[in-house]
Amino acid sequence: MRRRFNLSVGSRKLLAGLACCASWLGLAAAPALAQEASGFPQRTITLIVNGGAGSLPDIFARPLAEQLQQSLGQTVVVDNRPGAGGMVALQQLKGSDGSGHTLAIVTNAHAVWSPYIFPKLTYDPAVDLKPVSPIAVLPMALVVNPKVQAKNLKELFALAKAQPGVLNYASSGNGSPPHVLFEVLLSQAGKPDIVHIPFKTGPDALMSTVAGDTQIYFAGSALVEPMLKDGRLRALAVSPAVQSEGFAQVPTLEQEGHAGFESAVWIGLVAHKDTPDAVVAVLNRAVTQALQAPAYLATMQANGSIPYPDSAAGFAQRIARERSEWAPQLERLGIRPN
């Protein structure tokens, strides 16, 4: 079992404080940053997103692109490349020139889990991705269509055990956080028979659950909160706790007897493996600067995410640590693409 990264209230305040005060990374104005990397950036920066418009990665990528554009003084365009468990997006990054002008938004699914899930992965996260900066820890909410006759997790799993193979759950693709984390949850619950239905994007999975074509979705809280407020979905659990109206009465997974999900999903920025360290330093400082910008902090507060600044080295260390911690669990679960 992997190490739990339990974010207490104090830890969340600490992370928020780091986002609001980035002097520890030696932030400088854009011209000074550029001088450190021989004038980088020299042209438009492309920010690749494994997800369609409106997906959870896209929600973070677009305001980040605006902030990076302001601090770096060059246009930053978002290029949505959903599909194939991130392989479409990261194959594009792998084929870039390594100058730092092509970047990608990733979650731990792409940087940690994918080698243990996809037998024919077209990129090696340990070789082809150069960590630049984490961005946020993402709360995840387990939601159901209101027609599902379950008011909590125990009732949901009892229903699944009484009717094997009848219930199904949506995900934003094979190997995605909703897929992997729900399989972990099923394992903890004694492996009730609930069928996985993968979609190409998070919004597709979300709409299927709202429509009742699928019954369950383990999604980023930012995606599902509007549907909780108007009754199109019902939340059974969330992790970590989200301080917003839509989740006011929703228990955490830990309170429901399922530990280990407190900071299980994070989102970050990576570059091509050959990107110079000086360019990575410029980008890391620019991301940290974005994380203290009032507009970006407002975006994070609105979706309940937790700002997560760190150095490139610190980010790389976490990725390496999680690879070793997740490997035995994923091998034991034997998750494979449908």
Q: What is the CATH number of the domain that holds 70?
A: 3.40.190.150
pLDDT for the residue 200: 84
Q: What is the DSSP letter of 260?
A: S
Single residue among 194, 221, 247 that ends a domain in this structure: 247
The span from the CA of 73 to the CA of 234, in Å, is: 44
Q: What is the DSSP string of 187-238?
A: HHTT----EEEE-SSHHHHHHHHHHTSS-EEEEEHHHHHHHHHTTSSEEEEE
Q: Is residue 3 part of a domain?
A: no
The tens digit of pLDDT for each residue in 202-259 reads: 889 999 999 999 999 998 888 888 899 899 999 999 998 887 777 888 999 999 999 8
Q: Is residue 4 part of a domain?
A: no
Residue 120 has pLDDT above 90, yes or no: no
* Tally of structural domains, the chain: 2
| Helix %, strand %, coil % of the chain (to 5) | 45, 15, 35
Nearest to 45 by CA among 66, 27, 59: 66
The tens digit of pLDDT for each residue in 76-101 reads: 999 999 877 788 899 999 999 999 99
Name the band, by pLDDT with cuts 50, 70 and 90, for residue 334. Answer: confident
Instruction: Say whether both 67 and 182 belong to one domain.
Output: no
Contacts of 14 (CB under 8 A, 6+ apart): none
Asked whether the beta carbons of 141 and 219 are under 8 A apart, the reply is yes
Q: Is residue 307 part of a domain?
A: yes
Which domain does 185 fall in, by range?
140-247
Q: Is residue 257 part of a domain?
A: no
Single residue among 247, 280, 301 that ends a domain in this structure: 247
Instruction: Say whether both 127 and 177 belong to one domain.
Output: no
Single residue among 247, 282, 317 that ends a domain in this structure: 247
The span from the CA of 202 to the CA of 200, in Å, is: 7
Instruction: Say whether both 67 and 205 belong to one domain.
Output: no
The span from the CA of 2 to the CA of 263, in Å, is: 12
Instruction: Say whether both 83 and 184 belong to one domain.
Output: no
Instruction: Say whether both 131 and 144 belong to one domain.
Output: no
Tokens of 196: 């996985």
Instruction: Say whether both 19 and 88 belong to one domain.
Output: yes
Residue 16 has pLDDT above 60, yes or no: no
pLDDT for the residue 37: 59
Instruction: Say whether both 290 and 232 belong to one domain.
Output: no
Q: What's the chain's length in residues?
A: 338
Instruction: Say whether both 153 and 60 belong to one domain.
Output: no
Residue 24 has pLDDT above 70, yes or no: no
Residue 4 has pLDDT above 50, yes or no: no
The span from the CA of 205 to the CA of 27, in Å, is: 39
Q: Which strands make up the sheet holding 129-137, listed edge to edge? A: 76-80, 45-49, 102-107, 266-272, 129-137, 306-307
The span from the CA of 227 to the CA of 177, in Å, is: 20
pLDDT for the residue 3: 34
Q: Is residue 1 part of a domain?
A: no
Instruction: Say whether both 320 and 233 belong to one domain.
Output: no
Instruction: Say whether both 209 and 235 belong to one domain.
Output: yes
> CA separation (Å) from 249 to 124, 224, 304?
41, 15, 15
Q: Is residue 2 part of a domain?
A: no
Nearest to 103 by CA among 124, 130, 85, 82: 130
β-strands 168-171, 140-144 pairing: unpaired
Instruction: Say whether both 51 and 192 belong to one domain.
Output: no
C-alpha torsion sign, points 141, 10, 106, 286: positive
The tens digit of pLDDT for each residue in 276-317 reads: 999 999 999 999 999 999 988 888 877 778 899 999 999 999
Q: Is residue 198 part of a domain?
A: yes
Residue 141 has pLDDT above 90, yes or no: yes
- Higher pLDDT, residue 300 or 189: 189
Instruction: Say whether both 275 and 231 belong to one domain.
Output: no
Q: Is residue 234 part of a domain?
A: yes
pLDDT for the residue 223: 83
CATH (domain of 147): 3.40.190.10
| Mean pLDDT of the region 56-61 | 87
Name the band, by pLDDT with cuts 50, 70 and 90, for residue 36. Answer: low
Mean pLDDT lowest among 21-30, 226-235, 326-335: 21-30
